[in-house]
Amino acid sequence: MTIRTPSTSQTQQTILDLERTQSRLAQNQTRISTGNRLTSPGEDPAASASILELGSSIQANTQYLKQADTAMGYLSSSEDIVSASISDVERLQELATQALGTTNTAATRSAEAYEVDSLRTHLLGLANTQVQGKYIFAGTQTLGTAAHPLPFEDAAPPAGPINYWGNSGSIDLAVTATTKVSTNIPGNTVFFGAGGQGSSSDVFQAVTDLRDGLNTNNVALITSASANLQTSLNSLIKSQTDLGGRQAGLLNLKDTLSSFNVTLQGMQSNQQDTDYAKSITEYSNDQIAQTATLNVLGRTNKTNLFDYLA
């Protein structure tokens, strides 16, 4: 009778197969538990590189979205202040129109000057508005200086000319790799207009002239101030339109970046996420294979020459 015992090579091959099965089990178990298809970069180098590149793009776009939100905050605050300034100037125009009425006297005009002064003070406060500790109408001089802590100051309180100590600088934020947006409008542009300080577009000069005209019963000065208030109003409306246009552009940009990120995240997910149906099926099949292989090894280890001799 010929007696055969299992060869060493067969046993080694069976053990090797078992190790491979166990490796696949561990791999699919990790995929199922983590939700990641790739348990190591070496499994699919090309996919791993793509996932990293997509992640970098998503991260960059997310940062740009944050920058856009920051820009929107400053622009929105600036627009609110300009809108409030427009309301003040419109009220000043009403007062000027009333003062020019034929029934007005020196006394009634002088009485109106108190409200004009109040509006002048309010406009000065608006021009010196801070957001997060920074003056939004100071150009790049957002923190002021030791000599001039405020961007707008009354040269001779409470009735002197209003001086501007900011600058005409633009504060820009990057909202894409190639696009920047200016988050501010310098205060001299907003409140002095195209003509600059002391011109017909200088809202503070117009208010001062109106007050002086009312106090001195100077109809000609009141008339001139009324015309200049209209010029100042047009300038403020232009600034308001500019700020609104920038915000509209940022909203469109944010929509584009958000949509692009959704697309990138979908592409990343396709490369990275576990195919649960496939992984669970493979895991179940490998569990069966592992059990079968262990049974074969168990029977093999019991079959040797001494079993036959016994």
Residue 308 pLDDT: 46
Per the domain annotation, does 176 fall within a domain? yes
Which H or E element spans position 152? strand 152-154
45 falls within a domain: no
The pLDDT of residue 275 is 52
Q: To the nearest 10°, the Cα dihedral for 252, 255, 256, 261?
A: 160
146, part of any domain: yes
DSSP code, position 43? G
Domain assignment present for 140: yes
Domain region containing 209: 61-266
Q: What pLDDT shows up at residue 16?
A: 72
The pLDDT, as a whole number, for residue 267 is 85
- In angstroms, rounded to a whole number, what is the distance separating the alpha carbons of residues 146 and 173? 27
Q: Is residue 109 part of a domain?
A: yes
- For residue 13, the model assigns a pLDDT of 74
Number of domains present in the structure of the chain: 1
Instruction: Please report whether residue 300 resides in a domain.
Output: no
The CATH code of the domain that includes 214 is 1.20.1330.10
Q: Which residues of the chain have pLDDT under 50?
A: 1, 305, 308, 310
Q: 268 φ, ψ to 5°?
A: -65, -40
Residue 37: strand, helix, or coil = coil
